[in-house]
């Protein structure tokens, strides 16, 4: 049978079909962990090719997993039930801007950073800015509804998708949404499919919304003596009347990792730092940072350094950008969590993570997009140390449970994938999961599109790090 | 059988069940047209009551249509297949603000204007501002994904809904989303249900996002000698680097109706006027309007009047607010269309509407939210003049077809309801409609929730104004 499938795939894609283990092995991982070798890898380059592959998959009842640059931190592109990896990275030929309509159209393999560049050339902005934007593809951003630092003011990927071309599980092409910001013509399939992790349809083109590019930015670094006040300052800033464009937090641990890694002369003793960017007309930015400074003084926070010039500002943002590389440097497996909380609950979560860290004797680095309550507690794990692995699994479960208890959510921007599916029922309840499953079953009755993601697997009640 | 249902409903709701024609008749209309008398009206006041009513409806296979203040312009709350009207207007007891989390929780019968007021008291803003906000309910806004003038900068209702409590077609309660701006935990049911016009579930509570309230606003009125330039100016303004918070257009016809109605000393000779509001720090607003003024000069537009003070500004916005009352004044039936276009296509639509007006000898007033391409061509129809009614039907069809041809959409913010269902296939194609229907069938297999809305009815190929 495998030969029959191969022949059919090769009829459509010729030499863009791979089946040997040595060719397929590098398509079996992503930015999370675990390795799953697919039966086939196909490199699609057109909507028609996607349709043909989906039809062949239907004929042989073989799973399909779409894949971009695979920077996913939740297992989105892992072919956990084997089958066909549909690689979009070779399909990047279409990227067009319509400046008068304030929109861009792109094929799924386009690098997100290229979209930023093109918009920028026209004095416009594509706002979503996942930290991996220089290497990730827009297709992956759409699948996972990627976020980024600008989320606090500008929202996430979903907020900038006006329309999609989608190949359904049956191989039909549909258009969702369109070219307009307002659209209430039927159900909002665009926002249903963005973030559905490739489980409801295969995205083959996106129409993205642009906004006028802010004229300037200015950044302040705020130092805190304790984590609780750092957490509290977030609501204080957001209710001061100013709308920051970025608000990123690093705890002492994250700060020191970056300092070890890059020697930037950072205040190693601070319990946490907050980087706050405001954007807009240059004449107003100083005044806005002043407003924030005064609001913080009211809660006893007085260490606010405002970047004097562009160079200083870039240096501050360098700190945030180096957190992940600094953590990866250790060589151990990096488990990036993604809990998101109501703003007022951030201090509680910081306190809890500190307790968990002590209790399980673990090294947990906390950083994240403070302004939208999105924290990334990150654990480094030596996967050869079974005892440590189990402590990490316990810690992750405790963090999730507490997030849900605080009215937060398991994932703000990384997606559920394989990493968080075991916790879905905890957050959504049985009826909530069933409601979601009804949609999946209606649109993909044979469960061919990226199976093994989002929905809990029977018997799997927690994150299991060592299951290969 | 009707007696059995009545008894069961009364067991739950006591004297909040109506069945006599004289009691039910006023629940059979909305802001569009057509009258449909339901079998029952029930006034629900809790989630449990909603669940009970849904279960009774299931038992007797009786349709349910949720209803708020019924300002809908698309037929959303009309009980076109009779059954039970679930009236939410008596359920307004829950409205709570969580200022530190920047959110509000509300039960469905709360008046949208009360949400604005509560947010305002805390220096926060609930951004969606449908023109009917002083009388409409948040439940209706959620059902139809209501928009409003601030859409150009701040988006629509959907962009401010973080979570919902929903009673499913089976009478189960589910929670969608949560209390956080970022949330990718499974499919985005919140954004699927908002705008689904009560066809996928009954919303019983909403968690709404607030943002810092802008410190000030400033408004300019721009006069145009021809409609084409008016249309072109919209893209010009939006690519000038400034992000207006409102951009409303009135054509000569709309302008003169308002002047007839209210005597505001308006420039009757202008082909169109554009009202542009900017918001933010007061020290920057003049500069921003100046930037817009300069950009417009480049395309030959030089009549820009900037409001000197708050009073002048209020007077300008009065003009926009009086358009609908001025049209209603005629006494004829008002058909409000809601086409939405890519920004660069607005001039073409103005030209087309002018042609259609001449061709069918009709009076068409055009106004709308220019900044997001959302126009409301509005026709006054004497329903007793069969010949005119047919010309209106033709005109509406031509406007819709042209909008779709230009890459636009049938409805920007009013919804599909009964008014536009005949045109759905034209915009979405057969596969697109089937994809939507698969979701409806999966979640509401017995088609009990607001039947007759959104989906095309066999044989109905255009808007039929006189079908009662």
Which candidate from B180, B344, B424 shows the least CB-CB separation from A101? Answer: B344
What are the backbone angles phi and psi of residue A453, rounded to the nearest 5°? -110, 160
Q: What percent of chain B has pLDDT over 70?
A: 99
Residue B44 contacts by C-beta under 8 Å, 6 or more apart in sequence? B13, B16, B50, B53, B86, B87, B88, B90, B91
* Helix and strand element counts for chain B (H, E): 15, 18
Look at the block and give the residue holding tokens 């059919």. Answer: A8
Kindly determine whether residue A439 and residue B436, on different chains, have CB atoms separated by under 8 Å: no
pLDDT value at B92 more than 80? no
Domain boundaries, chain A: 1-213, 216-326, 330-443
Say if residues B167 and B202 touch (Cβ distance below 8 Å): yes
Q: How far apart, in whole angstroms, are the C-alpha atoms of residue A342 and residue A408?
A: 6
Closest by CA position to B212, among listed A13, A153, A395: A153
Q: How far apart, in whole angstroms, are the C-alpha atoms of residue B243 and residue A356?
A: 45
What per-residue confidence (pLDDT) applies to A327? Answer: 87
Q: Chain A partners of B412 at a C-beta cutoff of 8 Å?
A: 180, 182-184
ipTM for the assembly:
0.94
Strands (E), B70-215: 84-87, 95-98, 103-106, 124-125, 161-167, 173-177, 202-209, 211-212
Across the range B97-125, mean pLDDT stands at 96
Residue A311 contacts by C-beta under 8 Å, 6 or more apart in sequence? none
Look at the block and give the residue holding tokens 């659209």. Answer: A183
pLDDT digits 0-9 by tens, A92-111 = 779 999 999 999 999 999 99
Nearest CA in chain B to A419: B185
Q: Chain B partners of A98 at a C-beta cutoff of 8 Å?
A: 342, 344
**Which CATH number applies to A216-326?**
3.30.70.2190
According to DSSP, residue B416 is labeled: -
Residue contacts between A and B (CB atoms, under 8 Å): 286
pLDDT digits 0-9 by tens, B232-266 = 999 899 888 899 999 999 999 999 999 999 999 99
What per-residue confidence (pLDDT) applies to A468? Answer: 44
Q: Chain B partners of A345 at a C-beta cutoff of 8 Å?
A: 101
Say if residues A362 and A379 touch (Cβ distance below 8 Å): yes
Closest by CA position to A306, among listed A319, A326, A290, A284: A290
Q: Which tokens is A271 given?
A: 């319990």
pLDDT digits 0-9 by tens, B286-333 = 999 999 999 999 999 999 999 999 999 999 999 998 998 898 887 788
pLDDT digits 0-9 by tens, B392-450 = 999 999 999 999 999 999 899 899 999 889 999 988 999 999 999 999 999 999 999 99
What per-residue confidence (pLDDT) applies to A302? Answer: 95
Across the range A240-266, mean pLDDT stands at 94
What per-residue confidence (pLDDT) applies to A445? Answer: 97
Look at the block and give the residue holding tokens 């209803």. Answer: B67
Which candidate from B123, B243, B374 shows the least CB-CB separation from A241? Answer: B123
Q: How far is B401 from chain A (nearest CA, A)?
A: 14
Q: How far apart, in whole angstroms, are the C-alpha atoms of residue A212 and residue A204?
A: 26
pLDDT value at A207 more than 90? yes
What per-residue confidence (pLDDT) applies to B91? Answer: 87
Kindly determine whether residue A420 and residue B185, on different chains, have CB atoms separated by under 8 Å: yes
What per-residue confidence (pLDDT) applies to A116? Answer: 98
pLDDT digits 0-9 by tens, A120-139 = 999 999 999 998 999 999 99
Q: Which tokens is B371 given?
A: 């900044």
Say if residues B363 and A172 touch (Cβ distance below 8 Å): no
Query: Under DSSP, is residue A151 helix (H, G, I), strand (E, B) or coil?
Result: helix
What per-residue confidence (pLDDT) applies to B275? Answer: 97
Say if residues A98 and A116 touch (Cβ distance below 8 Å): no
Compute the mean pLDDT over every residue in chain B, rounded to the nearest whole number.
93
Compute the mean pLDDT over every residue in chain A, rounded to the nearest whole number.
93
In DSSP terms, which residues pair with B381 in a beta bridge? Answer: B333
pLDDT digits 0-9 by tens, B154-201 = 999 999 999 999 999 999 999 999 999 899 899 999 999 999 999 999
Across the range B58-85, mean pLDDT stands at 95
Across the range A363-386, mean pLDDT stands at 91
Q: Domain A1-213, CATH 3.30.465.10 — does that match?
A: yes
Query: Over B1-44, what HEC string results?
Result: CHHHHHHHHHHHHCCCEECCHHHHHHHCCCCCCCCCCCCEEEEC
Q: How far apart, in whole angstroms, are the C-alpha atoms of residue B141 and residue B156?
A: 10
What per-residue confidence (pLDDT) applies to A467? Answer: 52
Helix ranges (H only) for A375-458 are 386-405, 424-443
Q: How far apart, in whole angstroms, are the C-alpha atoms of residue A372 and residue A341?
A: 8
Other C-beta atoms closer than 10 Å to the C-beta of B325 total 12
Across the range B190-214, mean pLDDT stands at 97
* Sheet containing B246-251, strands listed edge to edge, beginning at the edge strand earlier in sequence: B304-306, B216-224, B272-280, B246-251, B364-369, B374-381, B333-336
Q: Chain B partners of A103 at a C-beta cutoff of 8 Å?
A: 342
Which candidate from A124, A239, A431 shows the least CB-CB separation from B123? Answer: A239
Say if residues A138 and A203 touch (Cβ distance below 8 Å): no
Say if residues A315 and A264 touch (Cβ distance below 8 Å): yes
3-state helix, strand, coil in chain B (%, to 5): 40, 20, 40
- Of the residues A187, A190, A199, A434, the best mutation for testing chain B's interface (the one with the most B CB atoms within 10 Å of its CB) is A187
Q: How far apart, in whole angstroms, are the C-alpha atoms of residue B78 and residue B424?
A: 19
What per-residue confidence (pLDDT) applies to B262? Answer: 93
Q: What angle do CA A42, A44, A46 make, to 5 degrees?
A: 160
pLDDT value at B103 more than 80? yes
According to DSSP, residue B100 is labeled: G
What per-residue confidence (pLDDT) applies to B173? Answer: 97
According to DSSP, residue B149 is labeled: T
Q: How far apart, in whole angstroms, are the C-alpha atoms of residue B442 and residue A440?
A: 9
What per-residue confidence (pLDDT) applies to B468? Answer: 44
Which candidate from B156, B180, B436 shows the least CB-CB separation from A373? Answer: B180
What per-residue confidence (pLDDT) applies to A466? Answer: 64
Q: How far apart, in whole angstroms, are the C-alpha atoms of residue B289 and residue B297?
A: 12
Task: Provide the CB-side half-sphere exposure for B2 (13 A, CA).
Answer: 11
Kindly determine whether residue B341 and residue A180, on different chains, have CB atoms separated by under 8 Å: yes
Q: What percent of chain B has pLDDT over 90?
A: 84
Class of domain A330-443: alpha beta
Q: Roughly what angle, to the nearest 10 degrees, separates helices B282-297 and A282-298?
A: 160
**Residue with the larger pLDDT of the pair A187 and B330:** A187
Q: Chain B partners of A128 at a C-beta cutoff of 8 Å?
A: none
Domains A216-326 and A330-443 share a fold: yes
What per-residue confidence (pLDDT) applies to A307? Answer: 95
Q: Chain A partners of B241 at a C-beta cutoff of 8 Å?
A: 123, 212-213, 215
Q: What string of DSSP letters covers A237-303?
A: HHTTT---SEEEEEEHHHHHHHHHHH-----TT-SEEEEEEEEE-HHHHHHHHHHHHHHHHHTT---
Kindly determine whether residue A435 and residue B103, on different chains, have CB atoms separated by under 8 Å: no
Query: Over A100-148, what HEC string results?
Result: HHCEEEECCCCEHHHHHHHHHHCCEECCCCCCCCCCCEHHHHHHHCCCC
């Amino acid at each position: 049978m495998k030969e029959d499938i191969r022949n059919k795939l090769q009829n459509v894609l010729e030499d863009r079909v791979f089946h040997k283990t040595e060719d397929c092995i590098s398509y079996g991982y992503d930015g999370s962990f675990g390795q799953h070798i697919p039966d086939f890898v196909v490199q699609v380059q057109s909507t028609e090719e996607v349709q043909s592959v989906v039809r062949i998959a239907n004929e042989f009842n073989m799973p399909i997993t779409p894949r971009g640059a695979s920077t996913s931190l939740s297992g989105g592109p892992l072919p956990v039930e084997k089958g066909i990896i549909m690689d979009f990275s070779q399909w990047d030929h279409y990227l067009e801007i319509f400046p008068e309509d304030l929109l861009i159209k792109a094929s799924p393999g386009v690098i997100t950073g290229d979209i930023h560049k093109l918009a920028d050339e026209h004095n416009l902005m594509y706002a979503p800015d996942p930290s991996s934007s220089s290497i990730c593809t827009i297709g992956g951003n759409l699948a996972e509804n990627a976020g980024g630092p600008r989320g606090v003011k500008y929202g996430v990927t979903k907020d900038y998708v006006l329309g999609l071309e989608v190949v359904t599980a049956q191989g039909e092409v549909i258009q969702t949404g369109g070219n307009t910001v307002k659209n209430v013509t039927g159900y909002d399939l665009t926002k249903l499919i963005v973030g559905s992790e490739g489980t409801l349809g295969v995205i083959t083109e996106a129409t993205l919304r642009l906004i006028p590019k802010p004229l300037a930015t200015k950044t302040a670094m705020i130092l805190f003596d304790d984590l609780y006040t750092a957490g509290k300052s977030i609501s204080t800033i957001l209710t001061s009347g100013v709308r920051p464009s970025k608000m990123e937090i690093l705890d002492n641990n994250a700060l020191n990792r970056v300092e070890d890694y890059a020697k930037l002369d950072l205040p190693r003793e601070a319990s946490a730092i907050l980087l706050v960017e405001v954007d807009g007309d240059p004449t107003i930015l100083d005044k806005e940072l002043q407003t924030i400074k005064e609001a913080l003084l009211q809660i006893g926070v007085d260490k606010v350094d405002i970047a004097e010039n562009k160079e200083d500002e870039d240096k501050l943002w360098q700190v945030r950008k180096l957190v992940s590389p600094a953590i990866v440097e250790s060589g151990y497996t990096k488990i990036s969590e993604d809990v998101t909380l109501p703003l007022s609950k951030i201090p509680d979560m910081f306190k809890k993570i500190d307790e968990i860290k002590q209790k399980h004797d673990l090294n947990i680095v906390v950083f994240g997009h403070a302004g939208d309550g999105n924290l990334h507690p990150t654990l480094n794990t030596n996967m050869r140390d079974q005892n440590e692995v189990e402590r990490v699994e316990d810690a992750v479960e405790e963090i999730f449970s507490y997030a849900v208890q605080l009215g937060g959510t398991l994932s703000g921007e990384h997606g559920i994938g394989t990493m968080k599916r075991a916790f879905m029922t905890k957050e959504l309840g049985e009826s909530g999961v069933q409601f979601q499953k009804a949609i999946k079953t209606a649109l993909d009755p044979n469960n061919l599109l990226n199976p093994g993601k989002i929905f809990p697997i029977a018997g799997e009640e927690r994150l299991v790090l060592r299951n290969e």
